[in-house]
Amino acid sequence: MKIKVLLIALFIGCFGYSQNEEITSQLYETYEKYKEKSLDKRRIKHHQLQPLLAQLESNSKFTVQVVGQSIEGRNLSLVSIGQGETDIFLWSQMHGNEPTATQAIFDILNFFASDDFKEEKQALLNNLTIHFLPMLNPDGAERFQRRNVLGVDINRDALRLQSPESQTLKRVRDSLDADFGFNLHDQSTYYNAERTEKPATISYLAPAYNYEKEINEKRGNAMKVIVFMNNIIQRYAPGQVGRYNDDFEPRAFGDNIQKWGTSTILIESGGFTNDIEKQEIRKLNYVSILSAIYTIAK
């Protein structure tokens, strides 16, 4: 299956990409310092996250709160940092076998816990409040399966809200009323960028909020962020960025969160040469997400 190559849209001048090249390069070059070494394999489990969350809870920079539980009683935790007026909400692993961005989230949290990049962090945390909900489907992660233990695809449960995990995501989204949302997934490593033999390493989508696929301010802002992130990934995986079909899916969380007023960016982690554990793609998630958040703050 081939995915269309992401087009560089006419928003490209809006973000002053060149002004942020330096921080992007620094994030890439210093990544190993912040990589969470305890999460070095793809099949991570809920219990591995608990000591990491406990460390964050003991750090005054962060607020950690249990916002729900899975069907089997595993806690769903929200980690927040910053005091800015613009709210950013990132959630990952609503499909239990899609852990790449969960690992990247803990790398990002290590970055915020450090004393480095003081000036950049001041700009981030004074202007933004950033919220992370990693591993939304811990029961699925336990079995390394897409659906939750009831057999429900959480990403198709935005309207019926059959599962406690879905109810938690909806409740947190509504309580935050976030300005920007990052919906973090994995895709098949066998997908190629269209008309190339290269794998689609990262794919993006600003989900539609109606069948007409109209572009309002919220969706337009998501598109601007995607254009910026594409520029970053092209530096490290040239020609390997894909774009998902933007047909409206009325049951999906991404489409509905866009509809509910949060500028939503879908990120799918695909394949990269000789990267079976997706550790290079994890790094690209770390760099591009942090750079995008920095750009929103600026």
How sure is the predictor about 247, in pLDDT bands with cuts at 50, 70 and 90?
A: very high
In this prediction, residue 14 has a pLDDT band, given cuts at 50, 70 and 90, of very low
Domain count, the chain: 1
Residue 88 · residue 180 · CB < 8 Å: yes
| Cα–Cα distance measured from residue 84 to residue 247, given in angstroms and rounded to the nearest whole number | 34
Is residue 71 a contact partner of residue 143, using CB atoms and an 8 Å limit?
no
Token match 């959480």: residue?
A: 154
Residue 291 φ then ψ, to 5°: -65, -40
Report the DSSP beta bridge partners of residue 78: 65
pLDDT band at 3 (very low <50, low <70, confident <90, very high): very low
- Per-residue 3-state assignment (H helix, E strand, C coil) for 165-222: HHHHHHHHHHHHCCCEEEEEEECCCCCEECCCCCECCEEEECCCCCCCCCCCHHHHHH
Distances in whole angstroms, Cα of residue 233 to Cα of each of 24, 230, 257, 288:
10, 5, 25, 7
User: How does residue 7 score in pLDDT terms, banded at 50, 70 and 90?
Assistant: very low
| Mean pLDDT, rounded, for 192-196 | 72
SS3 annotation, 61-95:
CEEEEEEEECCCCCEEEEEEEECCCEEEEEEECCC
Please check whether residue 70 is in contact with residue 139, taking contact to mean a CB–CB distance below 8 angstroms: yes
Based on its alpha-carbon atoms, the radius of gyration of the chain, rounded to whole angstroms, reads 18
* Helices and strands: H and E segment counts in the chain: 10, 10
Q: Over the stretch 212-227, which tens digit does the pLDDT of each residue have?
A: 999 999 999 999 999 9
Instruction: Select the more confidently predicted residue: 194 or 54.
Output: 54
Is residue 245 pLDDT above 90, yes or no?
no
Of 19, 56, 13, 79, nearest to 227 by C-alpha is: 13
**β partners of residue 202:** 241, 269
Using 50, 70 and 90 to split pLDDT, how confident is the model at 193? confident
Reduce the DSSP state of residue 285 to 3 states and report it. helix
**pLDDT on residue 6:** 41
Q: What is the pLDDT of residues 91-135, one digit of tens each?
A: 999 999 999 999 999 999 999 999 999 999 999 999 999 999 999
Task: With beta carbons less than 8 A apart as the criterion, state whether 44 and 102 touch.
Answer: yes
> What's the CATH code of the domain at 280?
3.40.630.10
Domain that holds residue 25: 2-37+44-297
**CA nearest 230: which of 4, 2, 3, 8?**
8
pLDDT confidence of 210, banded at 50, 70, 90?
very high
Return the SS3 of 248.
coil
pLDDT for 2:
41
- pLDDT value for 195: 67
| Side-chain-facing half-sphere of 78: CA atoms under 13 Å | 20
- Give the pLDDT confidence score for residue 228 in this predicted structure: 94
Given a contact cutoff of 8 angstroms between Cβ atoms, the answer to whether 86 and 177 are in contact is no
User: Against a cut of 0.95, is the pTM above it?
Assistant: no
Q: What's the pLDDT score for residue 19?
A: 55
| Contact in structure between 97 and 140 (CB atoms under 8 Å) | yes
Mean pLDDT of the chain: 92
58 pLDDT more than 70: yes
Whether 79 and 62 have beta carbons less than 8 Å apart is answered as yes
The identity of residue 222, as a single letter, is A
pLDDT at res. 162: 96
d(C-alpha 75, C-alpha 77), whole Å: 6
More confident residue, 262 or 242: 262
Does the structure show a pLDDT above 80 at 261? yes
Predicted pLDDT at 191: 72
